[in-house]
Every structure is written in C-alpha cells, then in structure tokens.
Structure 1
Amino acid sequence: MTNVEVELDCQVLVNALRSPEADLAWEGILFREIRTFAQLNFNRINFSFAPRACNHLAHALAAFGARRQIIQEVWSEDLPNDVNVRSASNLAGPG
C-alpha cells in the first residue's frame, strides 16, 4: 500500500492534517506525528472530507469486528447481513 486516501467526517481534522497551521494548538504534536508517519510510510496520502452519512459501511464493519472478539481472522464466508445491506446501499450511492 503506497497510495492512501483517508476520508474523515470532520472537516476541522482534515484541515489540521493537511496544513501545519494547527500545529501550535495543544494537540498539534499529534497532527505533526500523523503527517510524519504518513510521509515516511506512503508514497502519497490524501486526507479528505466525507459527510458522516457516507460512513455507514465503515461503522457496520467496525461493529461486526467488535462483536467477533477475534484477534486475527481470514474472512472467507459471505458478508453478514447487516454489513451486506450497508455495502449494497453504499455502492448504490446517495439516495
């Protein structure tokens, strides 16, 4: 993975990660560390804003993973229903 797109639902955080202007804030060290990590580990990384309505699939996957309580797993079966429904609606686009 050398080119990464990170979508966040907080425009303030996107702005802080894209520019050093927020580095003087009390949490500025975190923004600098994230940018440094990204520069050292990826050829290209882009932080962009996506409305909260766009992250239903990510939420469903995180909730599914939290319920599983397994450290490492290869997922070879079909998607769980709650994830499958969100995945289909995510592919369909807004509507």
Structure 2
Amino acid sequence: MVSPGKRIPERAGKLEYVSSALHAEALAMVYAINATSSMGANRVIFEMDSMELKQAITSQEYDRSALGSLFQEIKFQLNVAFDYVKLNVCPRACNNAAHTIAAYGHGLESGVCETWLGHFPEFVLNSVAGGLASLSS
C-alpha cells in the first residue's frame, strides 16, 4: 500500500541475458522493489502472476539453483526496505495489462526503458478496459 496521493510507476523495458521467464519475473520484482522503496513506501502489496516466484521468495529453504542468489537478494530487500509486505498471485488471465506492458517492453530497443507515472499510454488503458469488459460479461 502506498500513502494516498502516491502512485507506483509502471515500467516497460527489454531485459537482456535472461535465462527464463522466472528470471525475468525476478528481475522485474527487483525493479519494482527499488521503485517502490525510492518513493518512500513502507507498507506494500506486490501482485505477480508467477506462483513459482512467490514460492521462491517466501521459502525458508536455501535455494541452490542458478537463480537462488537473486531470490535471496529479493528476500533481503523486502525485509530491509518495508515494514509490511504482502505478496499476491493473480492468474495471468486477470493480468492482461501486465502482459501488454511486457510485450511492449520486449519490442523496445536494447537498453531502452519507459516509465509512466499516473498517465498511461493509450494501449495500456485499452488493455485495462478490455480486461474489465471481459470480467463483466
């Protein structure tokens, strides 16, 4: 949760040297943590569509996988940066806007990143509107 009046930015960019979808999700989580903490939020709810990522960053087990150190870094940042953290997993079918933003970011040139704070591009607004329409029918 963010104080009233504060908005968390949406961001799209092309990640290089990513080994898997889980790797991309974890890197996106690191960026989200950094953006949120830099805005001064201390009570947060992060939503993701990867149950695998949530399990990896909430597990008490030591992860010896190739991404284990990245998961440890996420756990550390969550514990240090925030007083309260909740992690929600929502199905990809309910997260069309995030998929649309990810697809847009994939189409950007390497090293290019776009951030929107409150004023989203038309394609994002259309994605959200389309998702809401499909939920009501």
Aligned residues: 92
Is 2:55 the partner of 1:15?
yes
Q: Which residue of 1 aligns with 2:78?
A: 38
Is 2:18 the partner of 1:6?
no
Distance 1:17 1:85, change over 3 A: same
Unaligned runs of 5+ in 2: 1-40
Q: Does the residue aligned with 1:45 lie in a helix, a strand or coil? A: strand
Work out the CA distance in 2 between the residues paired with 1:86 and 1:73.
15
The CA RMSD over aligned residues, in Å, is: 3.2
Residue correspondence of structure 1 range 52-67 to structure 2 within 5 A: 52-62=92-102, 63=104
TM-score by length of 1: 0.67
**Structure possessing the higher radius of gyration over alpha carbons:** 1
String of CA shifts for 1:6-65, please: whole Å, max 9, x gaps. 2222212111111222x233222221110111111111122221111122112334527x
Percent identity among equivalent residues?
A: 28
Shift of 1:91: 4.4
Work out the CA distance in 2 between the residues paired with 1:9 and 1:74.
22
Distance 1:90 1:2, change over 3 A: farther
Work out the CA distance in 2 between the residues paired with 1:74 and 1:48.
22
Work out the CA distance in 1 between the residues paired with 2:76 and 2:132.
33
TM-score by length of 2: 0.51
Q: Which residue of 2 aligns with 1:25?
A: 64
Contact kept, 8 Å, 1:20 with 1:32, in 2: the verdict is: no
Q: Which residue of 2 aligns with 1:86?
A: 127
Shift of 1:70: 6.8
